[in-house]
Amino acid sequence: MAKNMVTLGKIKDRIGDSNWFLYVLKLEESKYYIGIAINPEQRFSEHQEQGKNCSSWCKKFKALEILEIVDTGHKRMKDATLLEDILTLNYIRRYGTVNVRGGRYIGSERKVQKSSEHHLKRGYITVMHRLLEQFNITFHEISELGLNDFIMDIRNEAFLKNIIAITSHSENPKTTLLEKITKAQSSIRP
């Protein structure tokens, strides 16, 4: 069973007995924090107590209330973290880097501003974020098909961006996209 946890550092994958939830906290001084948890109410309490499991943003600006809880529909933490990044970027777009933290957007304002501006300008965070958001293609599916290295390889980003645009309006976009990526990967393998 996955525990309600703090998401620090590199995460391999953790599979919960139930779905992961996104939560949005309203903080002091009109700040916001976005996170994921199996039990968002318990996680909110941890942020309010400001103990060792509290995010540094919530230590700086005390958590006042839960604004939103969204069932990600995913038991795998990796997929939930992609959705956390997407929601955090949407909040940054709306309220600015000075007021929002969460997901991959943690740390100094300069760091958050630089990465969020780059992602907003190009229209997506990573190809994997786009695959999940537009096609509901998960990390697990990509791994099962043996496509992980191909998709994560930055040299394939332009190809993937084009193939996503081409297949997004096809009759069965998810299947078509996965077939095209699989075919492209097999054509470059030795």
pLDDT digits (tens, 9 = 90+) for 112-166: 999 999 999 999 999 999 999 999 999 989 999 999 999 999 999 999 999 999 9
Q: What residues does 22 pair with on adjacent strands?
A: 36, 70
What are 40-75's pLDDT values in tens digits?
999 999 999 998 989 999 999 999 999 999 999 999
Q: Does the pLDDT at position 4 exceed 60?
A: no
Report the phi/psi class of residue 76: left, alpha or beta, with left for phi > 0 and alpha for psi in -120 to 50.
Answer: beta
Rounded-to-integer distance, Cα 14 and Cα 11, Å: 8
Query: Could you identify the residue written with the tokens 């990600």?
Result: 72
pTM of the model: 0.87
3-class secondary structure per residue, 70-138:
EECCCCEHHHHHHHHHHHHHHHHHHHCCCCEEECCECCCHHHHHHHHHHHHHHCCCCHHHHHHHHHCCC
